[in-house]
Amino acid sequence: MTPVQKLIVLSLAFVLALAIGFGAAWQVQDWRMGEKLAEQAGLHKDDLTAISNAAAAQDRAELDKHLATEQQLAKQDQQHTKELSDAKTHQARLRDRLATSDLRLSVLLEDSAGSCNVPTTAGAVGVVHATRRAQLDPAHAQRIIAITDTGDQGLIALRACQAYVRTIAPTSSPSAAAGSP
């Protein structure tokens, strides 16, 4: 073999040894990076699992809060409906009693003779010294009862609305409770 051929073979052997070394180093780096990537993927998977669990727990808490609010609103609605029904029943009884003359409404009269409520004449009137009253006409009494019925229904509805607002939007700051913007 000639020296040039020896040099070429030796150069090829050297290049081949370098290529094998580079290939082996590349493979080792590939294994190392594969391990690191697998470790990072595992950590990422653990992080995603923790995030998913936290989000699910928060969703459950919000759902529980929402259900509790709905139950509270349903209970308040039943209570206000009962109050309204009771008020209507009471007003209907009053109207019936007024219609049958079982009950008469009266108003206080101003005492023009002075502040003494003692009768001026002695007699078998009674021993109760009360203020003087005048009975109202049954038709006027019916109108007064109708007005108070409407007012009672309005107050019950107002309390229901206020309870609803307090339940849905509880005040979180003192300025919100005072009504300032």
The closest of 148, 151, 140 to 93, measured between CA atoms, is 148
Q: CA–CA separation, 123 vs 30, rounded Å?
A: 123
Residue 175 within any structural domain of the chain: no
Residue 20 within any structural domain of the chain: yes
What's the whole-model pTM score?
0.51
Residue 63 within any structural domain of the chain: yes
Please give the pLDDT value at position 181.
Answer: 42
Note down the domain range covering 89: 7-107+133-168
Please give the pLDDT value at position 79.
Answer: 92
Residue 157 within any structural domain of the chain: yes
Please give the pLDDT value at position 99.
Answer: 75
Give the other-Cβ count within 10 Å of 181's Cβ: 4
Residue 127 within any structural domain of the chain: no
Number of domains in the chain: 1
Residue 150 within any structural domain of the chain: yes
Please give the pLDDT value at position 121.
Answer: 53
The tokens for 114 are 């002075």
Residue 162 within any structural domain of the chain: yes
Please give the pLDDT value at position 57.
Answer: 96
The closest of 155, 157, 152, 160 to 73, measured between CA atoms, is 160
Residue 53 within any structural domain of the chain: yes
181 residues of the chain, pLDDT tens digit each: 788 888 888 899 999 999 999 899 999 888 989 899 899 999 999 999 999 999 999 999 999 999 999 999 999 999 999 998 998 898 888 888 877 777 777 777 776 555 555 555 555 544 455 677 788 787 888 888 888 888 888 998 999 899 889 888 876 544 444 554 4
The closest of 160, 149, 29 to 96, measured between CA atoms, is 149
